[in-house]
Amino acid sequence: MQPNGDANQRIATISAHLNPRNLQMEESSGLQQVNCRAKGGSSGFRVAILGAAGGIGQPLAMLMKMNPLVSVLHLYDVVNSPGVTADISHMDTGAVVRGFLGQNQLENALTGMDLVIIPAGVPRKPGMTRDDLFNINAGIVKTLCEGVAKCCPEAIVNLISNPVNSTVPIAAEVFKKAGTYDPKRLLGVTMLDVVRANTFVAEVLGTDPREVDVPVVGGHAGVTILPLLSQVKPPCSFTREETDYLTTRIQNGGTEVVEAKAGAGSATLSMAYAAVKFADACLRGLRGDAGVVQCAFVASQVTELPFFASKVRLGRTGIEDIHPLGPLNEYERIGLDKAKKELASSIEKGISFIKK
């Protein structure tokens, strides 16, 4: 049997969770309110999700609540964030969840954050290209990044909002205008392309996708997505037909989901999974773990373009190293030329949006 003091301590802890200022109980029982976790959270990182009530945001928020590296999780959206917050806050994991609703609460949502994940924006629908998303999502990203520049300029930013090939340059220009731009801390999330590549290659090889690593470089739309199948780990070779099939399917993975959902949505669940996988890598880098390498769309000198997706090593300051492309075969060199032409116009579109 536990000593009476321990029982009282447990009762006080439960009371503090249910009613942080239960004065009546304190006076009647003599129990002193303990410091409740809801006041601050466990040791770890502070993460904000902007667009937390959306199709990507909700599963993303749930998965981040499960991440042991997260101590405080801020959920922001212009609609429905109180309900998502209440729902996810009931999960018995270590992170404390706080919700923020509407533009007037954006600054509170961002203050003090270590990592900001931005899935906000409208999803792609059947027949809609990523360029069709631009006019809506560009303005959303601009507003949110202005908040980041003001309230947590040293945070790592994971940008998911499409079209990533244009929204990352938009974010960079916003941060430049604010005088807070650090290219090491701005990362466009292309992890879904890697996740798909690993899955589709594993299907062809007849192996576990968790044992496959496919570098995917370039950008995050159509022909800008370039899987380097010659650099797959474990090493393997593909016929020309297999290479064509895999490259096309990886490039069109988003369209495959949009069409399969027949107007009911886009790739939200797999994107949330990929986003959490990438966010976890960023947090492990911030923690100081060695050898954390993932692909991302970042400011780069790997090519003549100002932004390019390739493997990056993550650390305490964000990006610590950008890997070169390595040896490419002829198929990949042709694909790279196509990717760069498309990327150049998408990047310029984002830069021009802020400068116009």
The torsion angle over the Cα atoms of residues 319, 170, 160 and 111, rounded to 10 degrees, is: 70
> 92 to each of 66, 68, 87, 89, how far by Cα in Å?
9, 12, 11, 8
Token pair of 54 as six digits: 């959306």
Among residues 17, 90, 220, 323, which one is catalytic? 220
Collapsing DSSP states into helix, strand and coil, what is residue 263? coil
How far apart are alpha carbons 299 and 288 in whole angstroms? 22
Residue 220 annotated as catalytic:
yes
Using alpha carbons, select from 160, 249, 161 the residue that is nearest to residue 198. 249
Crossing angle for the helix pair 269-287 and 191-205, nearest 10 degrees? 110
**Which residues participate in the annotated binding site?**
51-57, 77, 124, 130, 137, 160-162, 196, 271
**Which residues participate in the annotated binding site for substrate?**
124, 130, 162, 196
Q: How far apart are the first and last CA of the chain?
A: 72
Using alpha carbons, select from 51, 64, 118 the residue that is nearest to residue 91. 64
**Which residues participate in the annotated binding site for NAD(+)?**
51-57, 77, 137, 160-162, 271
Question: String of b and e for 190-224 (b: at least 16 CB within 10 Å)?
Answer: bbbbbbbbbbbbbebbeeebeebbbbbbbbbbbbb
Q: Which residues does residue 76 pair with via DSSP β-bridges, in sequence order? A: 50, 100
How far apart are alpha carbons 62 and 98 in whole angstroms? 13
Burial class of residue 321 in the structure, from the number of CB atoms within 10 Å of its CB (0-12 exposed, 13-18 middle, 19+ buried) = exposed
219 secondary structure, DSSP code: -
CA 18 to chain centre: 32
Token pair of 169 as six digits: 């340059």
Q: Which residues are catalytically annotated?
A: 220
